Chain A
């Protein structure tokens, strides 16, 4: 069966510090991968998606970047965090662009 992992679960970082969140998927190959951000009590905002290694599409201009160095690994990064980067970050995968998405447990990021 397929599983998706995200770490860390919680992160508190100072403004201006770098960020690296990792997401890995097991039990499937060539998945579509997604990074979402969810503000408190709000819906999901799609940040990045990837249909293959090295292929990244950015949905909104921001302080963040994403990379996919391996088929089942998706990384969300920032060189310098802003206060507005605080939120709940969710990684998800799907087999096709229109199909069911399977979410990881999320990373809660607090930038102080």
Chain B
């Protein structure tokens, strides 16, 4: 089964609202990464958070990591139409040494 699984699978919100996506994983990790994919395109790296970090910010993005709950969340504040995309978490599990991607959350921002 997937190491990382995003929730919800799909999310639609009005432009200007905040969007929150969650990622749960099963085993201990070295780091967790979030990526974005526009339809039919390659993935773009957003943020990497290491296992000893609890929160990171990048512009309108905020990522939290709770290793005790084996979960992470990605918050996009003040959403824009251009944020419409699929968002994936990827985990680097201890002992695995490669990234495992989740199935993604499809985010739609309604203008």
Q: Do A and B come from one complex?
A: yes
Q: Could you list which residues of chain A lie within 8 angstroms of chain B, going by C-beta atoms?
A: 36, 41-44, 46, 49, 88, 90, 92, 97-106, 108
Q: Could you list which residues of chain B lie within 8 angstroms of chain A, going by C-beta atoms?
A: 2, 30-31, 33, 35, 40-45, 48, 88, 90, 92, 97-104, 106
- Which residues on the A side are within 8 Å of B102 (C-beta)? 43
B45 near A101 (CB under 8 angstroms)?
A: yes
A43 near B88 (CB under 8 angstroms)?
A: yes
Q: How far is the CA of A43 from the CA of B106 in the complex (A)?
A: 11
CB closest chain-B residue, reference A4:
B42
Q: How far is the CA of A92 from the CA of B44 in the complex (A)?
A: 10
B28 to chain A, nearest CB (A): 13
A45 to chain B, nearest CB (A): 8
B42 near A42 (CB under 8 angstroms)?
A: no
B104 near A43 (CB under 8 angstroms)?
A: yes
B40 near A44 (CB under 8 angstroms)?
A: no
B98 near A103 (CB under 8 angstroms)?
A: no
Known: A43-B102, A44-B101, A49-B98. A100 touches B42 (CB 8 A): no
